[in-house]
Amino acid sequence: MKIKRTRIFEKRFTKLPEHLQEKTEKAIRLLIRDMLHPSLHTKKVGGTKDIFEARVDYHYRFTFTIRNDVITLRVVGNHDEVLKKP
């Protein structure tokens, strides 16, 4: 699988503290290997057609789509902020 990052994802990612950036990168590596890895708690975002969310840690999430073997990382941040505009 290939990874693509949206500008919004990159912008929010760079604003995260370094330890959360490291956790996010680890979660992305897990996502590439196994989208349903138990620590990711991957699930479809309610009310959307093809957007999923995965856990960075208890408070932080990222959203993504999968099309043609490309994972597009959409947004990362605090759980509530991410799910307002996935």
The pLDDT tens digits for 46-77 are 888 899 999 999 999 999 999 999 999 999 99
Say what the pLDDT of residue 85 is: 77
What is the Cα–Cα distance from 76 to 73, expressed in whole angstroms?
Answer: 8
How many structural domains comprise the chain?
A: 1
Query: How far is it, in rounded angstroms, from Cα 86 to Cα 83?
Result: 5
Cut 0.85: pTM above it: yes
pLDDT of 82 > 90? The answer is: no
72: left (phi over 0), alpha (psi -120 to 50) or beta: beta
Domain that holds residue 67: 2-84
pLDDT at 51: 95
Please name the amino acid found at residue 63.
Answer: T
The CATH number covering residue 58 comes to 3.30.2310.20
If pLDDT is split at 50, 70 and 90, which confidence band does 23 have? very high
